[in-house]
Amino acid sequence: MTHNLVIQSLAPLSDAHHKPLLALSRGTRLVQTDDHALRIDNANPAQRLDIDAYCGTHALDFAFVEAGLALGDFGLVVMDMDSTLITIECIDEIADFCGLKTQVAEITEASMRGEIRDFNESLTRRVALLAGLDAQALERVYEERLQLSPGAETMLAGVKAAGMKTLLVSGGFTFFTERLKARLGLDYAQANTLEIVDGKLTGKVLGEIVNADVKARLLRETCASLGLAPNRAIAMGDGSNDLKMMAEAGLSVAFHAKPVVREAATVAFDHVGLDGLLRLF
């Protein structure tokens, strides 16, 4: 199997990178595909460590991609929400409205790094701290703080043009996923439901918690409903809760991710936006 090496940069790519990258990759031909990306044909994946070191020094992202692979060979893209499709962790911002952002964010970070093994416990602990908060805080987070990650809309337009379906699957909350589904024209969305009584958060989650196992199951079930094998899915995420669904997919993208996720993924985007997915093919 032959591979191409795709190099991407947030800033315009300098020609000065051409010769060293071609030599390091042991490829046969270099093509600058646009101002921010280049492709090296017949690159050697055994050179990954050298390429990683060079790209790390120069703020470049790289990916070894099977030659001839096209975006249209996949049928589904599955995305995490918090810190992947959007720039924030919604629960941390909700907690800010009751003065508990620091405490909640500490648990969030530990969970994403994989230091808290039980996601259900992590989420339950964090949501319990929100008890009594006016539910209007959710609307304020959505309107005032939630922003799409760079390249999100371009990426979504590209995958839709390729005939792919989209699934937003989140350990966050339906209040946000349902709004994003409608706003962005996503095909499917699944997340956790916060219990609200008399306009206040109760500090409880209703129903099944969307943890790593559930995310992986939703990827498999959605693929099955579409008549796709799981290896025709692309999974994108940033935290340890995404690892199992990423392992199910044919291509996994660690987006500005924790080290444990970056190491496990097929591709890591540390610098470019979500639209970097389109430049892989």
What is the residue extent of each domain of the chain?
A: 1-68
Active-site residue (options: 15, 34, 82, 275)? 82
123: left (phi over 0), alpha (psi -120 to 50) or beta: alpha
Residue 227 has phi, psi (to 5 degrees) of: 75, 30
Q: What is the pLDDT of residue 18?
A: 98
Distance CA 82, CA 258 (A): 13
Number of Cβ within 10 Å of residue 269's Cβ equals 27
1, 167, 216 from 66: Cα distances, Å? 7, 24, 24
Contact (CB, 8 A) for 256 and 134 = no
Q: What beta strand segments (E) does 18-164 contain?
A: 29-34, 37-43, 60-66, 76-79
Contact (CB, 8 A) for 254 and 62 = no
Burial of 159-194, coded b for 16+ CB within 10 Å and e otherwise, reads: bbebebbbbbbbbbbbbbbebbbeebebebbbbbbb
CATH of the domain spanning 1-68 = 3.30.70.260
184, 218, 243 from 168: Cα distances, Å? 11, 10, 15
Q: What is the pLDDT of residue 108?
A: 84
Distance CA 193, CA 202 (A): 11
User: In the chain, which residues have pLDDT < 70?
Assistant: none
Residue 80 is a catalytic residue: yes
Active-site residue (options: 61, 80, 92, 275)? 80
Q: Are strands 200-206 and 60-66 parallel, antiparallel or unpaired?
A: unpaired
Per-residue DSSP letter, 148: B
Q: Which of 279, 278, 239 is nearest to 255 (CA)?
A: 239
Q: What is the pLDDT of residue 110?
A: 84
Q: Which DSSP string corresponds to 200-246?
A: EEEEEEES----HHHHHHHHHHHHHHTT--GGGEEEEESSGGGHHHH
Question: CA 80: distance to chain centroid?
Answer: 5
Distance CA 166, CA 172 (A): 17
The helix (H) or strand (E) run that includes residue 178 is helix 174-184
Distance CA 17, CA 242 (A): 33
Distance CA 237, CA 84 (A): 6
Q: What is the pLDDT of residue 38?
A: 98
Q: What is the pLDDT of residue 98?
A: 86
